[in-house]
Every structure is written in structure tokens, then in C-alpha cells.
A = this chain, B = another copy of it.
């Protein structure tokens, strides 16, 4: 998040170029989001420094750490942290999420990522990125182990009988004793079962492997979609895959990203968008786009379209679905590299939408009512101002239209707010 989802946002006069390491900045954002009765805060992440630091704020506070600090500064909002199944061990990560869920009173969510890219792999003892399919196989086993760990304490394992000197019931502790392909994990977690049982499971991969994984495990899916039709197709596909996996399709929430640029008039909104584009450093954009498309440096020309002979998605080992989205966007709208960078600068593939508060609300209502979204990942181009504008001007319209709560109810877990059931412990017969 830092100064906003537009890569040039840090250059605006209002922006603090050190915001990404300023806790107060994030506390402010979280409180604005609570004023807007948002469901949750979401932090993306990758365990590596991405390329050059020359032309944009780089690095970020580790998301679980930052969200834990925000847990005590907020009361209602969900806290969704990105963490990698490729570069963590299940015991440590399961424990951290259980701890955050306890500390926040049941507001933790985990955005499960497999982490593309050789840069990350080389920070963890590997020479190269593991293959896409292998990353997902490891992710599935990681989830199975994590679920065993989160269920290793039954909800009523603590007895707390002071007189008898009996604190806990060992019969309600279930060590995973897991021996698998990627992990072996013997013992029970050293944290009791948390308010939600385990964090809300969120996922953001939209490749074939990603969608299969989401259908099996995810309760919320964050996705980048450029058109209503694509979003509807994705939504329908994911719901039906979830049903096929034997789950209730209502129990997976589809949340496309949207980058709103809001103005009192259309002209003002367009001017705000233009101001951001004027601050893009295009040289940097070119090398970043080449890296995303896995092209050799120097391939792209700013005022030409993308080369015709790009490889198919199947040849990409990185972020497969994002690759396809970018290539299709460029082809569909016949964008030059410069124009494409302008569009991506706003949200790196998420839908950028410049308009009045009414127009932004219309866009949200259309996608919501026409089977493209159960909710949205609001990614303001500039922060905190873009979030403030959204909360002050778009949120009231959404409330008037009955699309958003007017206030938080009594203290709820993140899962309760999403209308999802608390997961039963696999060692107990009935739902708790």
C-alpha cells in the first residue's frame, strides 16, 4: 500500500516517500477503512527486494508483523497477511497466524501464495524458482499440515481446574504425525485453537493450478480482472469448481481488485489520472514490464506495441494468469508499451477506473449485481487521500443503495463478517 497503488504516487506533493515504513501511516489507513466499515485490510508481499530501488519506494514491513501492530490499533477490521508456502515452514507459520488470530480476537486472514520468481528462491537456498506445478503441490501439502496443526488442540482442551490441579486434557491434543513429500511435522501446535479455528484462507492465483487450489481451500479469492465479461467468467468458473470440489459455492468469496481514481467531475478524475501518468518514469516501467513478461532486457520499445511472438502462458513459470491478463489487455486495446505502462502503473493489472463517486459506485454495483464479484479489493491510486475520498464520497452512496453496512455489528470474527461458518475441528464430530 504505502503511498498508493499507482507506482508514481510517491512523487505527488502530498505523499510521504517514507510511508512504507511508517506505522502511523498504516494506522491512519486502517482507521479510515474502519470508518468506511470495510471488511478487511489486505497486504500483498514477496520475500525479496524487487529489482532497482531507484524509481519507486521499495521494501515493506513484513505483513504479519505490521498487521499485528494494527490489530491493537483497530477494533473491527479483518487483517489479511500474505505469506508464502514455498518459503516458510508450516509449524512457524501456523503458529504465527494462530497468535494473530488470538491477539486480534478472530480477525486474521492468510493470503496463501506460492511466490513466483528466482529472486525469492535464491534468498532461501535454491538456485532457481521451483516449477509452477511443484509450488502448488507443496502449497497443498502445506495447507494439509497447517490444518492439522490448527486442529491439534480441540476447542475445549483447556480444563483449568485449579482445585484438582488439572490444567488441560491430553486426550484433546492431536499431534499431526505428518510424514509427506515436502514436510514432516510430528507434534501439536504450541498455541491453543484460535477464535476462528484458523485464519480465513485467501488466495490470489488465477492460473489453472491456482483455481484448482482455490476451489479446494480458499474462502476468499482476490483477482485482477479487466472487463465485466472476464470477471463474470472467472466468477462462474470458480463457483462451479468449488461446487465440484464438494464445497458450498457461497463459501468462496470472489473479490476483484479495483483502482479508483475519484474526482468531483469526470474531468477532475481524468486530470488526477493524467497527473499520475505524468509522474511515471517510463524507463523503469519498460524494464519492469520486460521482467513481468520474461523478455530479455531491451526487447520492448516505448512507442511500439508488444512483439507478436510472445510465448504462451504454459511456458511461463512465474505469475501465469497475470502474464496472460497483461498480454490480452495490450492486444485488445492495441496499446503501445508506453500506454500499457500507464495502465499498469495504476494497479499492475487490476482494473483502474477514473470517475465521479457515482460512477465508481455504479461500476461496483454492476459487477456485484451481475455475477462478477462478491466484494472488492479497493486499491486507491494514492494513499491515504484516495481511501479518504472513497470513504467520504463513495461509501455513503453504496450505503444508500443497500450495498454496504452502515455500521459494524457487535464484535464479529472476520469469517462471521464474510457470512462463513467457523470451521469444525477435524477431530470432533459436530460443528462447534
Q: Is A188 an interface residue (CB 8 A)?
A: yes
Q: Is A270 an interface residue (CB 8 A)?
A: no
A57's nearest neighbour on chain B, judged by CB, is B167
A91 with B123: CB separation less than 8 A = yes
Q: Is A11 an interface residue (CB 8 A)?
A: yes
Q: Which B residues touch A52, using CB under 8 A?
A: 168, 170
Which of B46, B48, B65, B190 is A47 in contact with, Cβ under 8 Å? B190
Q: Which B residues touch A72, using CB under 8 A?
A: 23, 69, 72-73
Copies assembled: 2
In Å, the complex CA distance between A102 and B61 comes to: 8
Q: Which B residues touch A140, using CB under 8 A?
A: none
Q: Indicate the member of A54, A87, A189, A190 with the most B CB atoms within 10 Å.
A: A190
Q: Which B residues touch A64, using CB under 8 A?
A: 65, 96
Which of B21, B95, B188, B279 is A191 in contact with, Cβ under 8 Å? B21
Q: Which B residues touch A69, using CB under 8 A?
A: 68-69, 71-72, 103
Q: Is A169 an interface residue (CB 8 A)?
A: yes
A65 with B123: CB separation less than 8 A = no
A102 with B47: CB separation less than 8 A = no
Chain A: interface size category? 35 or more
In Å, the complex CA distance between A87 and B90 comes to: 11
A182's nearest neighbour on chain B, judged by CB, is B125
Which of B10, B162, B186 is A17 in contact with, Cβ under 8 Å? B162
Q: Which B residues touch A185, using CB under 8 A?
A: 122-125
A169 with B99: CB separation less than 8 A = no
Given A57-B167, A167-B10, A190 contacting B49 (CB threshold 8 A):
yes
B281 with A53: CB separation less than 8 A = no
Q: Is A246 an interface residue (CB 8 A)?
A: no
Residues of A near any B CB (own CB < 8 A): 10-13, 15, 17-18, 21, 23, 46-50, 52-62, 64-66, 68-69, 71-73, 87-89, 91-92, 95-96, 98-100, 102-103, 119, 122-125, 153, 157-158, 160, 162, 165-170, 173, 183-192, 279, 281
Q: A53-B158, A53-B167 are in contact. List 4 more A-B contacts (CB 8 A).
A: A17-B158, A59-B190, A65-B65, A119-B186
